[in-house]
Amino acid sequence: MVSIRQKLRTDGLPDFRNLGVIARTLLGVHALVFAIVLAAHPDLAQAVQAFVRAAALLEPALVASLCLLAAATPWLRRLPYGGGFAAALALAGAAAAASHALLGEAAPAGLARTLAYALAAAALVLAYLRLRERAFSPALAEARLAALQSRIRPHFLFNSLNTVLALMRRDPRRAEQALEDLAELFRALMSDARTLVPLAEEVALAERYAAIEQLRLGERLRLAWDLDAAPMDALLPPLVLQPVLENAVHHGIEPSAGPGEVSVRIERRGDRVRATVENTHLPASGAEAPRPGNRIALENIRERLALYFDAEARLETRAEAGRFCVEIDIPYRSQAA
Amino acid sequence: MRPLRVFIADDEAPARERLKALLDDIAAEVPNVLAGEAASGLQALERLPDSGADVLLLDIQMPGIAGLELARHVAALERAPALIFVTAHDRHAVEAFELNALDYLLKPVRAVRLAAALRKAVATGPASAERLARAAGAAREFFSVAARNRITLVPVSEVLYLKAGQKYVTLRTRAGEHLLEESLVQLEREFAGRFVRIHRNCLVARAAIRGFERASCGEEGEPHWEVVLEGVPERLPVSRRQWQAVRALAGGQTHG
């Protein structure tokens, strides 16, 4: 089992394959250079020109460092923090030295000074990233995750229980099945929020949820699953798919007296997994205006995705001609990797 | 004692089934028969008048029309049934619906509670329209036009103007006219954002105003402005007192 603990542990270097880390490094180094240039030139226009010159010389070394760090990340993260820190500095220094050699005559400073700058910048960035990771410590992140996960609509629980009670006399077998489904759902809801789960489990859970809603809503709920290209071994945070589906039913099906359709499509595209949940959506015509709370549920999922994947996950919504669409895009990680 | 006629309005079939089973269970204690059932608010309004229902069990959140608004239209019926709201929401949400002052049951409903609510409903009788209006707070989305114990709903958005007559208010839509038994003052207050008063006896839907024209001599014998409306030929006189306010709202789109 892959756990969020692994991702959030503080005793290793940051993951330089992560977009968020890369972006923060690039921004951090540039901000540092700009601050230094600004201190040296009192005139702003001159400072900007000097910054552009400095940046042009800096870029090769910076990009090379990031490439090296990204490539070495699996190995770096296995080292204790001190060792990893030294190795990362060494990589940054090597990239700076190589860039210095390549620039030849154009190099702005001697090798020793270039190395000193590179090492200082690298140390500062690493220290910043470590501080940042500490600030979002696992304990804090776990608490936030748990709080985010436990939100289910009470309305759903009571309606489901009511459905089961109604089935009890006429169709005890289906009532049994519905209670089993409900139990599974609540087991997932109360489970360990940190553990990533395979997509197959998420899909099974969403199907259990759908079975309960189907009993309740009958003909009004038409579900279409498209899972042929779904990578069932992909890992994702628990309870990402089900709440999106619940959202679609709550906003797309319940407010309408006639039948409506919800479609779920999950597919792998290269190293990304994309899940699309679409529902027929009534135009906001006063009487059947969309219900409030839509944004809260989706914001909750977006926040959880960010806690797991940082900047590498995306949740987007589109409202178009009678349809509402939620698209989740996360990196493909399988149990085997 | 005559058995109580109970009407069930809930959009979920299992929920209706459950209520029917419970009504059966308490039949010895509170004699009752099913007067009818409906799967939506509009269906309920259609079927209620002929059902002779004494009590309506009404799900608060049904598609099409909000439960509380539906209740207000039901209360306007000649033989209005007593109302019991049913909801799966928790107490907190019930407070948000302003249902506190009214009778309600929480889903899943228990037989004892249902029996108690039915007995109480019979004792207190139908809820008054005013009390429901107070509870609702928000403006309605439909006007209900009652005729011979039938209810016709007219979406507020289709109304072009409301004009007070001797006893009734005339409601004008593109398709025709209806009579409302309400006071223009109360209508003005409820729909303050949507309608604007142009005359002592007339409210006009802001969205329906196409422009203004100068009438040289109207019934009042002196020059005045008239509102030109979208979709209907008639012009409505603007009174001297309202002219400034009306023109400010309409943003000076005058011609003529």
CA distance A237 to A240: 6
Q: What angle do CA B128, B132, B138 make, to 5 degrees?
A: 155
Structure confidence by residue, pLDDT tens digits, A77-121:
888 888 888 888 888 888 888 888 888 777 777 788 888 888 888
Out of A162, A169, A220, the one facing B107 most closely (by C-beta) is: A162
| Whether B63 and A170 lie within 8 Å, measured CB to CB | no
A184: alpha, beta or left, given left = phi > 0 and alpha = psi -120 to 50? Answer: alpha
- C-alpha dihedral (B12, B18, B19, B23), degrees to nearest 10: 160
Contact B15 A162 (CB under 8 A): yes
Q: For chains A and B, what is the number of CB pairs under 8 angstroms?
A: 72
Measured from the Cβ of residue A325, the count of other Cβ atoms closer than 10 Å reads: 16
Residue pLDDT, tens place only, A296-309: 778 888 888 888 88
Whether residue A260 has pLDDT greater than 50: yes
Please give the pLDDT value at position A326.
94
In this structure, the answer to whether residues B102 and B155 fall within a common structural domain is: no
Residues B125 and B165 in one domain: no
Whether residue B76 is contained in a domain is answered as yes
Residue A282: predicted pLDDT: 67
- Bridge partners of B38? B9
Domain span at B21: 4-136
**Contacts with B64 from chain A: Cβ below 8 Å:** 256-257, 287-288
ipTM of the complex: 0.70
Residues on chain A touching B155 (C-beta within 8 angstroms): 286-287
Taking only the tens place, the pLDDT of each residue in A55-69 is: 888 888 888 888 988
Extract the tokens encoding B232: 């209907």
pLDDT at A276 over 70: yes
- Residue A291 scores a pLDDT above 70: no
* Number of domains observed in the structure of chain B: 2
Dihedral angle sign, alpha carbons of residues A190, A202, A166, A152:
positive
* Comparison of pLDDT for A327 and A186, the residue scoring more: A327
Confidence band (pLDDT; 50, 70, 90) for B96? Answer: low
Please judge whether A257 and B21 are an interchain contact, meaning their C-beta atoms are less than 8 angstroms apart.
no
Answer yes or no: do B147 and B246 share one domain. yes
* Domain containing residue B106: CATH number: 3.40.50.2300
pLDDT digits (tens, 9 = 90+) for B25-38: 999 999 999 999 99
Q: How confident is the model at residue B3 (pLDDT cuts 50, 70, 90)?
A: very high
In the prediction, which pLDDT does A137 show? 66
Domain end among B82, B109, B136: B136
Q: Are residues B124 and B195 in the same domain?
A: no
Closest residue in A to B19 (Cα–Cα): A166
Instruction: Give the pLDDT score at A149.
Output: 61
Both B88 and B177 in a single domain?
A: no
Cβ neighbours of B9 in A, within 8 Å? none
Please give, rounded to a whole number of angstroms, the shortest distance from the CA of B21 to a CA of chain A. 8
Query: Is the CB of A163 less than 8 angstroms away from the CB of B12?
Result: yes
Residue B130 shares a structural domain with residue B10 = yes
Query: In Å, how far from its chain's centre is CA B124?
Result: 22
Interface contact A158-B107, CB threshold 8 A: yes
* Last residue in a domain, options B92, B110, B136: B136
Give the model confidence (pLDDT) of A191-244 as tens digits: 776 778 899 999 999 999 999 999 999 999 999 999 999 999 999 988 889 989
Helices A19-40 & A44-76 angle (0-180, nearest 10): 150
Q: Compute the radius of gyration of chain A from its Cα atoms.
A: 26
Same domain for B53 and B176, yes or no, is no
Domains, chain A, ordered by start: 4-135 (no CATH), 141-331 (3.30.565.10)
- Let me know if residue B158 belongs to a domain: yes
Residue B14 with chain A: CB contacts under 8 Å = 162-163, 166-167, 215-216
B148 and B85: one domain?
Answer: no
Residue B15 belongs to a domain = yes
Instruction: Determine the pLDDT at residue A10.
Output: 46
Per-residue pLDDT, B224: 83
8 Å CB contact of A166 and B155: no
Query: Residue A289: which pLDDT band, with cuts at 50, 70 and 90?
Result: very low
Q: Is position B255 within any domain?
A: no
**Are residues B129 and B176 located together in one domain of the fold?**
no
Q: Quick check: B157 pLDDT over 60?
A: yes
> DSSP class of residue B34?
E
Same domain, B103 and B222: no
pLDDT at res. A2: 47
Q: How large is the average pLDDT for residues A10-26?
A: 81
Q: Which amino acid is at A48?
A: V
Segment B81-102 shows an average pLDDT of 71
Could B17 and A170 be called an inter-chain contact, meaning their C-beta atoms sit closer than 8 Å?
A: yes
Contact B63, B82 (CB under 8 A): no
Q: How much of chain A, in percent, has pLDDT values that exceed 70?
A: 86
CB A178 within 8 A of CB A163: yes
- Give strand pairing partners of A272: A269, A331
Can you tell me the distance from the alpha carbon of B196 to that of B207, in angstroms, rounded to the nearest whole number? 10
Q: How far is the alpha carbon of A140 from chain B, nearest alpha carbon, in Å?
A: 29
Q: Which residues of B touch A214 (CB under 8 A)?
A: none
Residues of B in contact with A290 (CB under 8 A): none
Bridge partners (DSSP) of residue B225 are B214
The average pLDDT across A163-192 equals 90
Given a contact cutoff of 8 angstroms between Cβ atoms, the answer to whether A148 and A240 are in contact is no
CB contact under 8 A, B108 and A161: yes
Q: Does a structural domain hold residue B110?
A: yes
**CB of A318 within 8 Å of any CB in chain B?**
no
Question: First and final CA of chain B: distance in angstroms?
Answer: 70
Interface contact B88-A257, CB threshold 8 A = no
A154 at the B interface (CB within 8 A)? yes
Bigger pLDDT: A154 vs B183: B183
- Give me the residue from A155, A255, A256 closest to B88, CB to CB: A155
Distance of residue A317 Cα from the nearest chain B Cα, in angstroms: 24
- How many Cα atoms are found within 13 Å in the side-chain-facing hemisphere of A145? 28
Residue A256 touches chain B, beta carbons under 8 Å: yes
CATH number at residue B220: 2.40.50.1020
Average pLDDT of chain A is 84
Label residue A8 by pLDDT band (50, 70, 90). very low
Instruction: Please report, as a single letter, which amino acid is at residue B144.
Output: S
Shortest alpha-carbon distance between residue B18 and chain A (Å): 4
Q: Is residue B256 part of a domain?
A: no
For A88, the token pair is 């990362």
Using CB atoms, which residue from A166, A169, A288 is nearest to B64?
A288
Nearest to B88 among A162, A169, A256 (CB): A162
The strand ranges marked E within chain A are: 197-198, 221-226, 235-236, 260-269, 272-280, 314-320, 323-331
Give the position of tokens 């409030």.
A292
Q: Is B180 found in the same domain as B87?
A: no
B107, B136, B165 — which closes off a domain?
A: B136
| More confident site: B6 or A47 | B6
Whether pLDDT at A6 is above 50: no
Token pair, residue A78, equals: 């296995």
Q: What is the pLDDT of residue A288?
A: 40
Residue A199 has, within 13 A of its CA and on its CB side, a CA count of 20
Residue A166 has its nearest CB partner, among B14, B39, B40, at B14
- The more confidently predicted of residues B76 and B165 is B165
Which residues neighbour A74 within 8 Å (Cβ) at sequence distance 6 or greater?
A: none
Residue with more model confidence, A289 or A119: A119
Q: Which residue has the higher pLDDT, B114 or B61?
A: B114
DSSP three-state, residue A69: helix
Whether residue A255 lies within 8 A of chain B, CB to CB, comes out as: yes
For residues B147 and B245, membership in a common domain is answered with yes
Would you call A290 an interface residue with chain B, using a CB distance cutoff of 8 Å? no
Question: In three state form, how does the secondary structure of B182-211 look?
Answer: CCHHHHHHHCCCCEEEEECCEEEEHHHEEE
